[in-house]
Chain A
Amino acid sequence: MAAKAKPVPQVALGLEPGPFHDRLVAHNRQQAWMNWMGYASPSVLDTVEFEYFAIRNQSTLFDISPMCKYAITGPDAESVVNRLVTRDIRKLKPGRVAYCIWCDEDGNVVDDGTVFRLSETEFRLCCQEPQLSWLEDIGWGFDVQISDVTRDIAGLALQGPTSCALLKDLGLAGIETLKPFGIAGFEIGGAAVTISRTGFTGDLGYELWMEPGDALKVWDALMPAGKLRGLRVIGYEALEMARIEAGFLLPKVDFLSAQTVLRADRANTPYELGLEWLVALDKPHFNGRRALVDLSKQTPRRKLVAIEIERDKPAHNALVYHKKTREVGQVTSALWSPTCKRNIAYAWLEAPYGQSVTDNLWVEIYLQKEIRWQRRMARCHLVAKPFFVHPRRTATPPADY
């Protein structure tokens, strides 16, 4: 896309320009900015539909620099990360990434994120919420250095079926051999770039990490190379559609961090979130382990489930009923999935609904037709996550699209 719009150097929102800001401005026809950790982040640059379909059919660039990033290094780094997260991080080899959650002492989830193991003694944690004081508490008494490197590293998510081909076009030798959750070093536009085969879309895709000073150089190399591959800059809204399809949960939307809730019962355990597969109770002590051992033996109070809804209207903020009468839960994320052609959502259901009672569930959807509101009860069914699964996400080497 040739950027003809006049660059607007300043965003008058009190937000900080990120490392790619000068280029984002040029592409942002809507000038729709949102606040992501103090950075100006585009919610949509042009048209959300185009941006979304580019994720599933072409290639997309999304600036992930605002993501919180922490370096955890030193002789005890492995012990500290293993103490932090519920997975057994000793099994994570250097050059690999793992999706993780971490819990407080009551076994409630503090946040989720990805752990990059850069070497035996160097880890990087990427997550949504600021964690420095939490990490310092977890690391206290260990031989480890913990630092916030959020602003030291620029990140770009390059996602979509043509992303591998695009990188190959740029001459990244061997990129096609990088397996999902693998990390490798490359050069783009003369700048050193660490690439991980990770992402938030459930599609073939990569995340590119570089020094902020190299950000524009890398961008300027990617954009022309992407011309033939349909590369498009996207904003948060399109990504949000893809992440729901991909089965990922979003803090602040689907669940709240135990650190931020005001009402103690609003925090959630891994068992409630359906993330028990991430909890390795058999490893040495980690934060919240004793509470999690107890919780693992109990029926969760409620459960976050994936549902598919009959008919086509998305169930935003809908209440869920049993037998159309008894209120048993509510929807957190909802979407008419353009790729799956299914009406999908995540919903919290109070026990025993969604656990031993799974039938005769209904969502209450409000529709506005020419000012008048209508209420519609639509039947819903529990289904497995993710909604969108495609072999190209994991195929190595990926096919040339």
Chain B
Amino acid sequence: MSGRYDAIIIGAGHNGLVGAAVLARKGKKVLVLEARDHVGGMLGDASFRVAPLPYALRPEIARMLQLDQKRLHGAKPVETLAFGSDGPPLRIIGGQVTGTDAITEHDYAILHARLGRQARALGVMMLQSPPGLGKASLGEMAGLAKMALKMRLLGKTEMRDLLRIILSNAWDLLNDEIGDGPLAGALAMDATLGGAMGPRSPGTVLTLLYRMASQSSHGHGLRVMPEGGPDALVKALSDCVTSAGGEIRTGVAVEKILVDQDRAAGVRLQSGEEIAAPLVLSNASPKTTLLTLLGVEHLDGEFIRRCRNMASKGMVSRLDFDIAQMPSLRSGGKIEQGQRLVFAPTMQAIEASFNAAKYGDLPERPVFEATYDTTAKRLCVTAQFTPHDLKGGWTDDAKSALASSVMAALEEALPGLSSAVTASRVMSPVDIETGYGASGGHWHHGELRVDQLLMLRPFDGAAQYRMPVKGLYLCGAGAHPGGDISGAPGFNAARAALRDGGH
């Protein structure tokens, strides 16, 4: 089949855009098709953004796409305020914490440095195709070798330490090193945010390292907001696609991936329009891509079973509160633009709210992160452990119950806040699933856990971006290395497609 396009990218999420940019800059004629009326995926809807805090774009990708790195990564690192049950919040920037005792400050710095070294070793794998389970290509072997070398360079003790903690849980590690409290709460939040795991779940040290590895533009664990915020990042990425000759169409949902002679041949839109291309990259979640867009008739039964069984129960809701006049903190002082607020007073509190969510209930006291946008006068809350499969469903009552419990926790730290709210909105995991095609409304399009990582991501037999139908690639958060606004899956998928000859 011949057509005007060398490649079609389904979805203009940031990963779709990164993948399109990589291909377009290699001279491929690309077309990006987005169902929504805006680009940027979960990052892109300025009126109610799913992902408000894009800290994780890989600096290597910014460099290779020749984006304005100074604008993207030049700002000073974000300060995190970790709220305990009373008093002033702790203030955290990377490995520095203030507001706690000197011993904890010291222990935390050491722990942070150690985790950082381990995260860096893991980080090498982020921009590599994961090795195959059968035969590995030379490039994959090189990636593995690099990681192995990094691990060796860690030294014997730290290497042993890494192996020891990789399946262990954040609870034990943090309790051993810094004790429970708001500081441990903030770290355990990083370890579990977006997943269906509590701090006591095995593998949560690994997810903590993953998150630290994906925020390494200024050294591990340092968060930086791009200048101009999420919209500027989305614009930088879509400009990169179009200036390299790529086309982007919004408001066009792909209904089917066309297959000819067991090869991807293009797509059919919901309107019935068919567009041919020998290469199709899908930014939609793996389940959506394979079970709905491609269709089970092209896949083996075992493959479908693993795809269906892939864990992807979304846990996170977004709430926006319009607040014209932000009250002062209970301990005095104001919240500043860009600060990240973490409401997870202890690991115990996180685990307790996970317990409720595990059984399909809303936690009485949800744990969450938040930022206040001083220009839009909006408090953006990302609330953890609000299960996709909520008992009784995501009714308006359920949503207002969630909003009240979040507000109750905020009110304690910011007395007078609730009466300052002029409007509020709630977006549940079900809304996210419907709105973005991410199965389960999941943060990573599929749980990030040991049996769904690296060569097992998104699931056994579907790793390495290439799908069983030739010419079809997964380029979204469901693929290795997973979600967050990192661009890594899109980048890796496009490179895998180019390595295969571009079609």
A contact residues around B262 at 8 Å (CB): 285, 289-290
A285 contacts B298, C-beta separation under 8 Å: yes
Which chain A residue has the least Cβ–Cβ distance from B259? A285
**Is B396 located at the chain interface by the 8 A CB criterion?**
no
**Is B164 located at the chain interface by the 8 A CB criterion?**
no
**Is A105 located at the chain interface by the 8 A CB criterion?**
yes
Complex Cα distance A138/B303, Å?
10
A288 contacts B300, C-beta separation under 8 Å: yes
Which of B297, B301, B308, B461 contacts A134, CB < 8 Å? B301
Complex Cα distance A142/B262, Å?
19
Contact-residue bracket for chain B: 10 to 19
A140 contacts B301, C-beta separation under 8 Å: yes
B contact residues around A105 at 8 Å (CB): 300-303, 461
Interface flags, B296-319, vs A, CB<8A=1, else 0: 111111111100100000000000
List 20 A-B pairs, Cβ < 8 Å: A83-B301, A104-B300, A104-B302, A105-B300, A137-B301, A137-B302, A140-B301, A140-B304, A140-B305, A140-B308, A141-B295, A141-B297, A284-B297, A285-B262, A285-B297, A285-B298, A288-B300, A289-B262, A290-B300, A290-B468
B contact residues around A83 at 8 Å (CB): 297, 301
Complex Cα distance A83/B304, Å?
13
A contact residues around B303 at 8 Å (CB): 105
Give A279-309 interface residues, CB cut-off 8 Å to B: 284-285, 287-290
**Is A317 located at the chain interface by the 8 A CB criterion?**
no
Q: Which of A104, A140, A288 has the most CB of B within 10 A?
A: A140
Which of A79, A104, A137, A290 contacts B297, CB < 8 Å? A79
A140 contacts B468, C-beta separation under 8 Å: no
Complex Cα distance A284/B291, Å?
17
Residues of A participating in the B interface, judged by any CB pair closer than 8 Å: 79, 83, 104-105, 134, 137-138, 140-142, 284-285, 287-290
Complex Cα distance A318/B473, Å?
50
A contact residues around B301 at 8 Å (CB): 83, 105, 134, 137-138, 140, 287
B contact residues around A138 at 8 Å (CB): 301
> B84 to chain A: closest CB distance in Å?
49
Q: Which of A104, A141, A289 has the most CB of B within 10 A?
A: A141
B296 contacts A140, C-beta separation under 8 Å: yes
Complex Cα distance A83/B299, Å?
9
Q: Say whether, besides A105-B461, A285-B262, A290-B468, A141 and B298 are in contact (CB < 8 Å).
A: no
> B6 to chain A: closest CB distance in Å?
24
Q: Which of A79, A140, A285, A287 has the most CB of B within 10 A?
A: A285
Complex Cα distance A140/B309, Å?
13
Interface flags, B447-474, vs A, CB<8A=1, else 0: 0000000000000010000001000000
Which chain B residue has the least Cβ–Cβ distance from A137? B301
A contact residues around B295 at 8 Å (CB): 141
A contact residues around B299 at 8 Å (CB): 285
> B306 to chain A: closest CB distance in Å?
10
B contact residues around A104 at 8 Å (CB): 300, 302
A contact residues around B468 at 8 Å (CB): 290
> A281 to chain B: closest CB distance in Å?
11
Complex Cα distance A23/B241, Å?
79
A142 contacts B461, C-beta separation under 8 Å: no
A contact residues around B461 at 8 Å (CB): 105
A141 contacts B291, C-beta separation under 8 Å: yes
B contact residues around A140 at 8 Å (CB): 296, 301, 304-305, 308
B296 contacts A137, C-beta separation under 8 Å: no
Complex Cα distance A66/B333, Å?
80
> B468 to chain A: closest CB distance in Å?
6
Extra 17 A-B pairs, beta carbons < 8 Å, given A140-B301, A141-B297: A83-B301, A105-B300, A105-B302, A105-B303, A105-B461, A134-B301, A137-B301, A137-B304, A137-B305, A140-B296, A141-B291, A141-B304, A285-B297, A285-B298, A287-B300, A288-B300, A290-B468
Q: Say whether, besides A105-B461, A290-B262, A290-B468, A141 and B296 are in contact (CB < 8 Å).
A: yes
Complex Cα distance A79/B262, Å?
17
Complex Cα distance A287/B297, Å?
10
Complex Cα distance A281/B379, Å?
59
B contact residues around A137 at 8 Å (CB): 301-302, 304-305
Which chain B residue has the least Cβ–Cβ distance from A141? B296
